[in-house]
Amino acid sequence: MATVLAPAPALPRPPRPKGLPLVGVVPQIARDPYGSFQRIAREHGDVVELAIPGMPTVLVSHPDHVRHITNTRHAAYPKPEMFRDAFFRDAPRFHGMANGAEWKRVRRMLNPKFTAKGLAPLQDRIIGAIEDHVGGWSRFAGTGATVDLQREFSLVTMRVLLRSMFTRPAPDAEVEHLAEVFERVMHGMAIAVLTTPLPGWVPRPRERRYDEAKAEVFAYVDRMLAERRAEGTTEETEGDLLDMVLHGEFDDGTTMTDEHIRREMLGLIFGGYETTAAVMSWTIARLAFAPEARERAYAEVDALGTARLTNEDLDALPWLRACFDEAQRLQGFVLNAREATEDDEIAGFHIPAGTTVAFSGQTLHRDPRWWRDPDAFSPSRFLEDDVNPYAFVPFGVGPRRCLGFKMAYQVGLWTLAEAFRRFRFTVPPGWTPEPRFVFSTTVKGGVPVTIEVRA
């Protein structure tokens, strides 16, 4: 007589905190996008189903689960709709928002261009742009005027990106205008992501401003592209980012269309503009309340000497890099996400196909299981502790790690080093930094400082 095997028991679904009727947990996340995910993970565990109408979502808060979706099974967890359609719903997408063969094709072409060797032709352009802008802060020094350093870092970053992309120095008014336009793009993208679960016919706040800002950035890129095609690559422009993209070839020998180029250029600005400026802002904000760490950073920068900064100097700034990383850790980010394309299991729980699986930088970066004294600003942890790479994910992790992370470190560390070589910064008495969600985590209200020239 044949033995009849009992069916395998069905896997349970993750625990699901109660939310409000119709809107689930959306209001509490909207009220506190940073603390809410920490509370949910602390109260309900490392794998939690979130009640978000129209978008089945699971929050994971353990490095092993982050590794599972971003590395071990990354092919089964592509970018979800909430991010995929933030720029464009149609191909060709910016590679950071694309999936599958579309993503692989572009990433394979661009990877060599964002290595240390590939970025070498940009070094003088980047450092020159930083020197031009940071040197201009002398006009504030000794005046007692309060300067928003976060805005200044945004302008530095925009100037660097424009110089890296198109070589020619952009006038101050052009830099300031494009920074303002791109802030509208960032706000529009954040709204587009947050309103993804809503039906398409529901009006989105600021949608018209977002579309107008995107069109203006595109018109600028189109002008730069038309000029380059008319003039051709010269000895001066060879090796800039537009040159890299314009002459990059796919495996089959084809090149990008103009439409694809404009989308990649917009995406590269998106990836490097607000995020890098925000980390530099948080670094200054944290060091303002850590005098020993701040003076150690000044001493390390002084040891470089007075010559112009170079790529080799980055290896001589381990403490400044640790401060930069610690600022990123405490800065956190609201959410990164993938989408399960097939049924899966995480920690014994059933994850149905179509589920958005998300992780919060704020939660991972402040979990006492992975970090000693997690709420303290302690840069030494990045020099002394064994940091779990899946518990510290400011640039993402796995094959889809941000393509420009090396460039972000270059811009961030060179800018901070140049600033520390020249100036001292003082925040007003009683001021404390607070987070603000735009697309990345900026300092709410900026970083107000007075500036003094160093003797």
Fold of 1-91+334-393: 3.30.43
Integer-rounded Cα radius of gyration of the chain? 23
Question: Which overall architecture, per CATH, does domain 99-332+405-453 show?
Answer: Orthogonal Bundle (1.10)
How confident is the model over 142-177, as pLDDT tens digits?
A: 999 999 999 999 999 999 999 999 998 889 999 999
Q: How far apart are the C-alpha atoms of 354 and 260, rounded to whole Å?
A: 28
- Hey, what are 230's tokens? 């008319």
Question: Quick check: 352 pLDDT over 90?
Answer: yes
Domain boundaries, the chain: 1-91+334-393, 99-332+405-453
* 92 prior amide bond cis, ω within 30: yes
Whether the per-residue pLDDT at 85 is higher than 60: the answer is no
| Residue in 47, 63, 50 with CA at minimum distance from that of residue 11 | 47
Question: What is the C-alpha separation between 50 and 62, in angstroms, rounded?
Answer: 16
Which pLDDT band holds residue 29 (cuts at 50, 70, 90)? Answer: confident
User: What sign results for the dihedral spanned by CA atoms 387, 391, 397, 403?
Assistant: negative
Q: Could you tell me which residues come within 8 angstroms of residue 408 by beta carbon, excluding any fewer than 6 positions away?
A: 272, 275, 276, 279, 395, 402
pLDDT of residue 194: 64
What pLDDT does residue 162 have?
A: 93
Judge whether residue 267 has pLDDT over 50.
yes
Q: What is the pLDDT of residue 362?
A: 93
Residue range 98-126, pLDDT digits in tens: 888 888 999 999 998 898 888 999 999 99
**How many CA atoms within 13 Å lie on the side-chain side of 113?**
21
d(CA 273, CA 269): 6
DSSP-H helix ranges across 349-404: 361-365, 381-384
Q: What is the mean pLDDT of residues 131-146?
A: 95
Is 70 exceeded by the pLDDT of residue 409? yes
pLDDT at position 359 over 90: yes
Residue 449: predicted pLDDT: 98
* Tens-digit pLDDT profile for residues 212-221: 888 898 899 9
